[in-house]
Each structure stands twice: as C-alpha cells, then as structure tokens.
Amino acid sequence: MTFSPLTLEEHLELSREMRVARARLRELCDMVAGVYGPRNHAAFSFLKVADGMDSLCQDLQAQVSQDYPDQDVDDLYL
C-alpha cells in the first residue's frame, strides 16, 4: 500500500487545530490540578493526556519536516 503525505496546506490547517487543542487541554489540566491537587488521579490522567498531545505534536513536526524538507516548516507544530 502506498501512502501520500498530507499536503502542506493540510499540515498548516492541522497544526492550527493542534495548537488550539493543545492549549485548551493544558488549560483544563491546570484547572483540574488546581481544584483537586496535582496528585489526584484525574489530574494525573489529564497530565498524561497533555504529555501525549505534546508527543504527538513532536511526531507531526518530524513528519512535516520529512514530507517537506525544502520548505520552512520549523516549529509548525511546536
């Protein structure tokens, strides 16, 4: 099976959506940790999800750099 990379426009749109989602997830994580404390199970789970989102953004950044090595895509997802 052959895969085609996302277009640069698709990467741009996805990166905008990921930035918004990442920021909102961090806000919610901070809110839950602020209410229940950082050692609470829900706060811990929120932090794990937020860390996973960070990891996903790093992976997407590596992918766009691989897909478009001749384009200025530095920090598109970061």
What is the domain count for the chain? 1
CA distance 42 to 45: 5
Mean pLDDT of 8-12: 97
Is 38 domain-assigned?
yes
CA distance 46 to 30: 9
Six-digit token pair at 73? Answer: 């895509």
Is 76 domain-assigned?
no
Mean pLDDT of 5-34: 96
Whether 12 shows a pLDDT value over 90: the answer reads yes
pTM, to two decimals: 0.88
Report pLDDT for 2: 81
Six-digit token pair at 40? Answer: 């609470």
Is 19 domain-assigned?
yes
Is 35 domain-assigned?
yes
Nearest to 69 by CA among 5, 22, 20: 5
Is 78 domain-assigned?
no
Is 77 domain-assigned?
no
pLDDT digits (tens, 9 = 90+) for 31-73: 999 999 989 999 999 999 999 999 999 999 999 999 999 999 9
Whole domain around residue 32: which residue ranges?
Answer: 8-67
Is 46 domain-assigned?
yes
CA distance 52 to 46: 10
CA distance 25 to 30: 9
Mean pLDDT of 14-18: 97
